[in-house]
Amino acid sequence: MRHDRPMDRATPARVALVGAALALLTTGCSAGAVTTASPARVSAAGPGAASTLVPVAAGDGHGVRVAIVGDSLTAGGGRLLSDGLDADTWMTYAQGDGVEYVGGWARGGSTVEQQAAAVQPVADVDVLVLMSGTNDVRTGVPFSAARASYESIVDTVSAREVVVAAIPPYARDPSAAARYERDLERWVATTDHVFVDPWRTVRAGEAWTPGASVDGIHPTTAGYERLGRSLRETILDVGADPEVLRADEGPLEGTPDGAAPGSVDGGS
């Protein structure tokens, strides 16, 4: 798989790279009530500041309708997506002008299994962005055990297209995070989904580049903005022509030439 394109655009490949799940604080993200979120509010305040809530960008009925599912990266500073979008929620920067946020579910600290149990159907979704996995790494859940939950989320939301995001570096166990991501990518290659990773320019091997993360797990607010704008490009590309992002350029890394994608049962 090629890794030579800028991070801000999806790389054409059977599995295009852009996305990333960064979840939880060093002790894990705080839990909250299981809630299905609908388009709500955007906080214009930065982290730690009093929230000034403004309406979510109004859709005109002609944009790509997007649902999102994930953990603290997707939930934002409020820890629950239903609390509203804020400065540390990537969708804040992805929505509007052709991208219409229509709901989903996210909670800080949640595993993929918990997300699958909580998410509800969302009507008429063009693109689902599923960004999760760091809490699985934190709790020792291998991808092989989480795969059915990913599939359940996809089935429940029933979007026309699915974007699955890579997880970012995880300072507490970098090798486990890298292993989970490889297995996640290999699974996506067996499906019709698109795999994306916008964190390539903030990775230094299996670690964050200096200054890119506030805690070795989450990005800075500027990082959330960059993530949102990058995912926006992917959403628009997938909504317009998903086959462009699924163009087959050869086997995945770690997959023998000519062979089927590698097993995802290796876990951690």
Q: Which residue has the higher pLDDT, 141 or 60?
A: 141
Q: Give the mean pLDDT of 209-238.
A: 87
What percentage of residues in the chain have a pLDDT greater than 90?
49
> What whole-number distance in Å separates Cα of residue 70 and Cα of residue 108?
8
Asked whether the predicted pLDDT for residue 119 surpasses 60, the reply is yes
Q: Which residue has the higher pLDDT, 247 or 126?
A: 126
Q: What is the pLDDT of residues 253-267, one digit of tens each?
A: 444 333 333 333 333
Q: Give the mean pLDDT of 113-119.
A: 98
Q: Give the mean pLDDT of 224-232.
A: 90
Q: Which helix (H) or strand (E) holds 226?
A: helix 221-240
The SS3 assignment for 50 reads coil
Which among 14, 34, 166, 178 is positioned nearest to 113, based on CA atoms?
Answer: 34
Residues ≥6 apart with Cβ < 8 Å to 54: 41, 42, 43, 44
What's the pLDDT at 151? 98
As a whole number, the mean pLDDT across the chain is 75
Is the CATH number of domain 41-245 3.40.190.10? no
Instruction: Calculate the CA 12 to chain-centre distance.
Output: 18
Q: Where are the domains of the chain?
A: 41-245
Which among 78, 155, 145, 87 is positioned nearest to 116, based on CA atoms?
Answer: 155
What's the pLDDT at 61? 60
The alpha-carbon radius of gyration of the chain (Å, integer) is 17
What's the pLDDT at 65? 97
What's the pLDDT at 18? 38
Does the pTM exceed 0.75?
Answer: no
Question: Amino acid identity of 253?
Answer: E
Q: Which residue has the higher pLDDT, 209 or 92?
A: 92
What's the pLDDT at 243? 64
Asked whether the predicted pLDDT for residue 64 surpasses 70, the reply is yes
Ordered alpha helix ranges (H), 20-129? 72-75, 91-94, 112-118
Q: Which residue has the higher pLDDT, 159 or 268?
A: 159
DSSP string, 177-221: HHHHHHHHHHHHTTSS-EEE-BTGGGEETTEEPTTSBSSSSSBPH
Q: What is the pLDDT of residues 33-61, one digit of tens each?
A: 333 454 543 433 333 333 433 345 555 56
Q: Which residue has the higher pLDDT, 159 or 37?
A: 159
Q: Which residue has the higher pLDDT, 237 or 267?
A: 237
What's the pLDDT at 102? 95
Give residue 97's pLDDT band: very low, low, confident or very high (50, 70, 90).
very high
Q: Give the mean pLDDT of 82-88.
A: 91
